Amino acid sequence: MHHQKLILFDFDGVIINGIDEYWFSSKLACERYLLNDLQNLNIKKYIEAPKIFIEIRPWIKYGWEMVLITHEILKKHKPLNNLTKNSFLENYEKNCSNLLLEYSWNSIQLQRCLDDARVFQIKNDFKKWISLHQPFNEVVNFIKCIKEKGYKIGVISTKGKTFTSKILSNLDLFPEFIFGYESGTKVDIISKLSQSYDIKGFIEDRRKTLSNILQNNQTKFIDCYLAEWGYLKSTDKEDLPQGIKLLKIKNLEDLVAN
């Protein structure tokens, strides 16, 4: 099956802009499922995603981190704000781990809170929940176009597969493969796919993920594209290593030019 051409896409930040949904759902997770700490939060402080949440987004890898960061922003006492943001980001992963220990939480628990918040919204107001996701129309149209040309499509998301599928279906996108956080790491997923398909590229907005792919013996030959329109840190576009190409949204067609 190696003759079948496959193009892989990250989801949030590449196919859709889900920042509003992440903020709304993370707030709801804090409000409905972290009840033991609700009295310490100013839940009504921000209706829309605040600037600091948007600025921290490029450091976030998994959904559970969204809940943790939202909690810190909403705290009444010593919240995460512009004064403390830089020091927090300097050692982002360690600071997140320290917060989990401080509150006696774990990543599985917070991920479940986020998933439960989404299930609640889908049951009660699916249209509103869907409306919080803004598609990158150029990417949506590109995927539809290349499917017509015979390419297989894979979407690898750190959202749950169920939620990712619902959003894609609403966009009339039906990839051959949809992987959520339940499926394991992106390197492992792509490594398995590479055994059966001719992978023509992976489009991702997290530079570290692309670097991990290039450092793996089974995936290092795959063309990696850093999505310029996604959630990038200010330094992400600088000194890109060989194997990672910066991709502008207007140049998507270059991936299938040959």
- Model confidence at 88, pLDDT cuts 50, 70, 90, reads very high
The pTM (predicted TM-score) of the whole model is: 0.92
The phi, psi pair for 195, rounded to 5°, reads: -75, -20
State in Å, rounded, how far the first CA of the chain is from the last one: 20
Residue 185 DSSP code: -
187 and 203 belong to one structural domain:
yes
Taking the C-alpha atoms of residue 174 and residue 178, their distance in angstroms, rounded to an integer, is 9
Taking the C-alpha atoms of residue 112 and residue 193, their distance in angstroms, rounded to an integer, is 28
Question: What token pair was written down for 189?
Answer: 């997923």
pLDDT at 33: 87
Where in the sequence is the domain holding 183, given as residue range(s)? Answer: 5-17+134-256
**The CATH number of the domain where 230 resides is what?**
3.40.50.1000
Per residue in 213-227, pLDDT (tens digit) is 999 999 999 999 999
127 and 159 belong to one structural domain:
no
Residue type, 40: N
Region 49-75 average pLDDT:
96
Strand partners, 135: 16
Strand partners, 245: 225
Strand partners, 119: none
Residue type, 44: K
- Model confidence at 1, pLDDT cuts 50, 70, 90, reads very low
3-class secondary-structure state, position 155? strand
